[in-house]
Structure 1
């Protein structure tokens, strides 16, 4: 499948990247390739801060990585059904990042879906961390995928929305696992799940 309704915007961004100083492009490429690790750090922080909280708060924190995995699987399933080629293959543009191989589908963006899911899950687990860090990083991740030339704008917009839509209901359901967390807090896992007297 090929969809190029936003090809003009894609070309504009890629052309801008081509005129940008190399150190800036290198920084964006590094973030785009490895920036999802920021979410892993934020997940650890949210887990750590949930230790003195109640079992519902810890359940929400522990659900974040699981929610992201589900969102990735859903997004990857959609990607395999749509089979849209990368814009750098279809439009033959010069890009900051080496263009992925044929058959490495473009729509929706997995990076963006992971970022969107992580942002929503973190936001619901810890509002301040979600608003101040996770949401901005998710937006930057999505934008970076277009900047380096591996995705159309609609790939990243759809990816971030799909990830968010998958994460939202799962994150809202997470506190229902509080009884299971409370049970685990009475086992040898207690030091990982509580920092003081918690239910």
Structure 2
């Protein structure tokens, strides 16, 4: 454990908030999709349809720019999620702090026992990578709303995972920085327009198919593809038994 983690964990443990009631609230926040991805995905839809600046002679250009930002935010989030998994698999394994015997006294007795958490490395936090990437995309479209989106990603997604011992502080800090960095790089005009152009053209030509697919993608993104991962795990497990 590095110096930053040692200092932050000790500082958090000195705050007298480890009551059972507060822990139940934090568990609910960590478990609820509403407090994770649903709100931020809803804000992406707001950016897509926002009326501000969409009227007048430059309205079409403003609307297209907003929609490019939504496409890039989602693409950045997906890249961040994939990059987080790749880093976790290829970097040295880091056991989550809640499973470290020497650190148990620093964390509340939380009901977040999931077998997969023991086998998935803690660094970096893929939740922070994904949702900070999305939040940064919202920030680029609207600074006031984006400030809230970043606040939401840090306070309602990142901090509860530190409090319960799902991640070290540096897992969340690194994940947040990587997610924001990916979105900033992807927002370079040459990259943004190249990626967004075919998607926006498809949306204009086949709106029914596009919005149906967008709804499905929004659902899976908001739930962080949990159902697909469970389905894939079940298929792999079933095939291994069949063989």
Normalised to the residue count of structure 2, the TM-score between the two structures is: 0.66
Match of residue 85 from structure 1: 95
The 3-state SS of whatever aligns with 2:152 is helix
The 3-state SS of whatever aligns with 2:205 is coil
User: How far apart are the structure 1 equivalents of 2:112 and 2:196?
Assistant: 45
The 3-state SS of whatever aligns with 1:59 is helix
User: How far apart are the structure 2 equivalents of 1:21 and 1:56?
Assistant: 47
Greater displacement, 176-185 / 85-94: 176-185
**Uncovered stretches (5+) of structure 2, i.e. residues with no partner:** 55-61, 212-243
**Uncovered stretches (5+) of structure 1, i.e. residues with no partner:** 193-199
Greater RCO, CA 8 A, separation 6+: 1
> What RMSD, in angstroms, separates the aligned Cα atoms of the two structures?
2.8
Number of residues paired by the alignment?
A: 188
User: How far apart are the structure 1 equivalents of 2:172 and 2:42?
Assistant: 22
Match of residue 154 from structure 2: 139
Contact 1:50–1:61 (CA under 8 A) maintained in structure 2: no
CA 8–97 in structure 1, closer or farther in 2 if over 3 Å, else same: farther
Query: In the TM superposition, what whole-angstrom CA distance separates every residue of 1:129-162 from its partner, at most 9, and x where no partner exists?
Result: 212x211112202211111121111111111111
Match of residue 103 from structure 1: 119
Match of residue 131 from structure 2: 115
1:25 matched to 2:40? The reply is no
CA 66–89 in structure 1, closer or farther in 2 if over 3 Å, else same: same
CA 113–97 in structure 1, closer or farther in 2 if over 3 Å, else same: farther
User: How far apart are the structure 1 equivalents of 2:131 and 2:197?
Assistant: 29
User: How far apart are the structure 2 equivalents of 1:73 and 1:10?
Assistant: 28
Match of 2:186 among 165, 170, 193: 170
Normalised to the residue count of structure 1, the TM-score between the two structures is: 0.79
Match of 2:71 among 62, 71, 93: 62
Greater displacement, 106-115 / 169-178: 169-178
User: How far apart are the structure 2 equivalents of 1:157 and 1:107?
Assistant: 10
C-alpha displacement at 1:105, in angstroms? 1.2
Greater displacement, 160-169 / 56-65: 56-65
